[in-house]
Amino acid sequence: VNVATSYSVVHHDQPAAQPRLLQKSSHAYAPSAHVVTSSHTYSHAAPHFAPLVSKTRYTVPFLSALQAQPQCPAPPACEKSRYRTLDGSCNNLQNPTWGTPNRRYGRLLTPKYGDGISLPTVSVTGQELPNARVVSLVAFGEQDIPDPEYTLANMQWGQIMTHDMSMQAGGTQSKKHPTRCCTDDGKLIGKDRAPSSCYPILVPEHDPAHSQTNTECINFVRTLTDREDQCTPTHPSQPAEQLTTVTAYLDLSLVYGNSDQQNAGLRAFTGGRMATVERDGYEWPPNNPNATTDCELESRDEVCYLAGDSRVNQNPGLTIMQIILLREHNRIADQLQKYNPHWDDELLFQEARRINIAQYQHINYYEWLPIFLGWENMVKNRLIYRTKGGEYINDYDPSQDPSVLNSHATAAFRYFHSQIEGRLDLVSEVRKPTGSLRLSDWFNRPSIIEAGDNYDFLTRGLATQPEELTDTNFDAEIKHFLFRRGRPFGGDLRAIDVQRNRDHGLAGYNDYREFCGFKRASTWEDLMDLISPQDIQLLNTLYRTVDDVDLPVAEFFERHLPGTQAGPTYHCILMEQFIRTRRGDRFFFENGNTPGAFTPSQLNEIRKASMARLLCDNSPGVSQMQPRAFQQIMDVNPLVSCRTLPALDVRYW
Ligand code: HEM
Ligand SMILES: [Ca+2]
C-alpha cells in the first residue's frame, strides 16, 4: 500500500517538544508525580472597545459599529438561581463562563502540532505520520462480533451523552460540509485552490472500497480554533485550541438548546411543555425549517426534526433517544400540572427540565458509566457513592473547570464508535426480529422512524439487539459507507477519528501513557505491559517511532481493565473527564448545597430512574422491558411488565 501523502504536511527537523501537564488534577486517580505548570483560566475576553464605551455616557456611532463586529456575548451577571441557565453560564459563580458554548476544549497535555502552533501533527522525525485511511485499513477490522452482554441502547446512550458534552466548532458531524477539499466525485482539490481549513484524507491505491469508484479523497475540514474566533482571542505564538459549541455540562442541552434564544424556538409556552407536532396520535419533534440543508431527504414528504442539537437527525437510533428525552419532559410537565394546577408555564417548564436532567444524570452515573468504568473503580475514585434513600453527596468543587477535555472528545470517548452496529433490528413485543434497516440508508432521514410501527419496533430493537464488541473492529457501514448519500461508498469514521486527532494536535499515546502513570516507552517492547506482542508488531509496521503512535490508535490495542470496557490509558482519561463533569457541576443532582437542591424525598424518587423506565414510558407500544435495558435479556435480567419497574412519583413535587 502506498502510504505517501504530501498534502498539508509540514516538514521540520526539530523533534517535537515533550508535552507538559497542563491542568491541575486534584483527584486521587491522577498520578501525583507530575508538576503542575499552569491551569488555563479562560476568562471571558471583553471586546477591545469596552472600556472606552463604558466611560462614555453617549453613544459614539463609529465605536458601536466597530463593537458590533464581532458580537461577543457580554460576561454574564450572575444571580443565585434555583435553575440552570440554558447556556450553562453562572453554574460556576466565580467563573461564570465555565462550561458555556463556543469555548476551548480542556487539555491535559500541551498540543503537539506539526509547527508547534497549529498545523496537524507529524512524526517526531519530521516526516509524515501514516495515512489515516491506511491506518484504518491495516490496523482495524470490520468483523461484526456481537457483544455477549450489552444492548445497542448502551451504544446509543453514549452518543446522547457525547452530544450533550461537546461538538467541535465548524463541523457538521453528519451533513455534507459546505467547505470542499475534494470534489463531489472524490478528486482532490489542489492546495492552491482549497481553503486553508482543508486537511483531506487521501485514499491509498488499491483501496478495497474507493478504488472501485476512483475516489482519491475523503473530505475533511479542520475544526475552528481560538485563532479564527475573535471572541476568544489568543496570542499568535500560543498553540491553537479548538472550540466546542455546546454546554459542557450534562444538562440535556441536546434537548433544551444551548441558549435562551434557541430554547425559545423549542418550547410550547403552555403547560411547561416543549413544542411537538402531533401525527397519528403521537408527539414528534417540531419540523426543522432548514430541512433541505439539515437533512438528506429524498422526497418533500419526509420529515426533518428540530431539537436542541443540530445532530438530532444523524441516525435513527440517536433520533429515537432524542424523542424519548423530549417526550419524557412533556410527560413530567403534564404530571406536575395535574398535581400543581396553580403553577404557571415557566415554573412547570423549569421543574420538569430539572427532573428530566436529574434522572438522566442518575442513569449516566449509576447505570451507564459503571459498565464502561467499572462500579468499584468509580466508587473508589468517588465518581459515585453507595448512597441510601435521599442522602446528599456534596462534592461540588468550585475550582473544578468542567470543560470537556480534547483527549476525551477527540480520542477516548470515540473508542465507543467500535460498538456501532450497521443494521438496526426491528423487534416485536415478543422480542422477535421482523426485519432490519441498513444504517447508511437512513443517515439524516428520520422519516423511517414514523413509518408504521417503526418507532416501537426500533425502540425494542435498541433494547434487544446486541451492540458490537468494544474492540478493534468497525462496522463496514461506518468504515466505508458513512453518510454515503445514495453513492456507492462514503466516509470512514475510523480514519476520520485518526485524522481529527492530528488536526487537534493531541499529544501521542506514549505521552498519555506517562500522564496516566505508566512507564514511558523508549522501545516498542516497553509497550508490552499493556499491549500484546502481535499488536505491537502491527503498530511498528505503521509508525516510525514509538513516540509517533497516535493516541486513538494504540488505545484500541490495550487490554481492557477487568470489569471495564477500556484499556488503562483510556480509562484514565475517561475517569478524569467524568470527575470534572460531576464535581464541576453545581447543579449535579446529588448536590444538597444549592438553592435548587432536591429535598431528600425527591432525591429518593430521582434515584428510581432507569433506562428501562424511560423506554417504557415514552414508547406507547412497549409494555415489557428487562429492568437493566443496557444489558441483554437473560435469566438474571428477564423481560417484565413495564408496570413493575420502579417509577418516579411527581407527587413529591
Ligand atoms: C451510529 C452512531 C454514531 C455515528 C454515526 C457517529 C458519527 C460521528 C461523527 C461523524 C463524528 C464527527 C467526526 C469528526 O468529524 O471528527 C463523531 C464525533 C464524535 N463521536 Fe460519534 N458517532 C456515533 C456514535 C457515537 C458513540 C456511541 C459515541 C460514544 C459513546 C460517540 C462519540 C463521539 C465523540 C466523543 C465525538 C466528538 C464530539 C465532538 O467533540 O465534536 N459517537 N461521531
Ligand atoms: Ca450540555
pLDDT in tens, 479-526: 999 999 888 899 999 999 999 999 999 999 999 999 999 999 999 999
For ligand 1, atom 13, name the residue with the nearest CA.
Answer: 173
The pLDDT score that the predictor gives to residue 69 is: 54
The pLDDT score that the predictor gives to residue 20 is: 54
CA 558 to centroid of ligand 1, rounded, Å? 21
Question: Lowest mean pLDDT: which of 11-15, 328-332, 414-418, 495-499?
Answer: 11-15
- Averaged pLDDT of the chain: 89
Of 414, 415, 437, 479, the residue with max ligand 1 atoms within 8 A of its CB, to mutate for a pocket test, comes to: 414
pLDDT in tens, 245-304: 999 999 999 999 999 999 999 999 999 999 999 999 999 999 999 998 889 888 888 999
- Rounded distance, CA 374 to CA 236, Å? 43
- Rounded distance, CA 440 to CA 448, Å? 13
Query: 29-65: string of b/e by CB count within 10 Å (b at 16+)?
Result: bbeeebeeeeeeebebbebeeeeeeeeeeeeeeeeee
pLDDT in tens, 424-464: 999 999 999 999 999 999 999 999 999 999 999 999 999 99
Q: What is the complex's ipTM, to 2 decimals?
A: 0.99
586: Cβ below 6 Å to ligand 1? no
- Cell triple for residue 382? 468517588
Of 136, 144, 154, 162, the residue with max ligand 1 atoms within 8 A of its CB, to mutate for a pocket test, comes to: 162
Q: What is the DSSP string of 85-147?
A: -TT-TTSSSSSTTTT-SSEEPB-SB----TTSSSSPP--TTSSPPPPHHHHHHHH-B---PEE
Whose cell is 424519548? That residue is: 324
Helix segments in 526-567, DSSP class H: 533-542, 551-554
At 21, is the pLDDT very low, low, confident or very high (cuts 50, 70, 90)?
low
* Between 12 and 171, the higher pLDDT residue: 171
Answer whether residue 626 shows pLDDT above 80. yes
At 35, is the pLDDT very low, low, confident or very high (cuts 50, 70, 90)?
very low
Q: Tell me what the mean pLDDT of segment 600-619 comes to.
A: 98
Distances from the Cα of 319 to the Cαs of 255, 294, 447, in angstroms?
11, 14, 10
Question: Lowest mean pLDDT: which of 299-303, 428-432, 465-469, 541-545?
Answer: 299-303
Protein residues within 5 Å, CB atom, of ion ligand 2: 164, 247, 249, 251, 253
CA 225 to centroid of ligand 2, rounded, Å? 20
Flag whether 417 is marked binding. Answer: yes
State the closest ligand 1 atom to the C-alpha of 220, by its place in the atom list counted from 1.
15
Question: Lowest mean pLDDT: which of 13-27, 47-61, 128-142, 196-210?
Answer: 47-61
The pLDDT score that the predictor gives to residue 22 is: 58
155: Cβ below 6 Å to ligand 1? yes
Whose cell is 504536511? That residue is: 9
Known catalytic residue at 163: yes
Q: Which amino acid is at 491?
A: G
Quick one: what percent of the chain has pLDDT higher than 90? 81
State the closest ligand 1 atom to the C-alpha of 317, by its place in the atom list counted from 1.
1
Which candidate in 11, 34, 48, 163 is catalytic?
A: 163
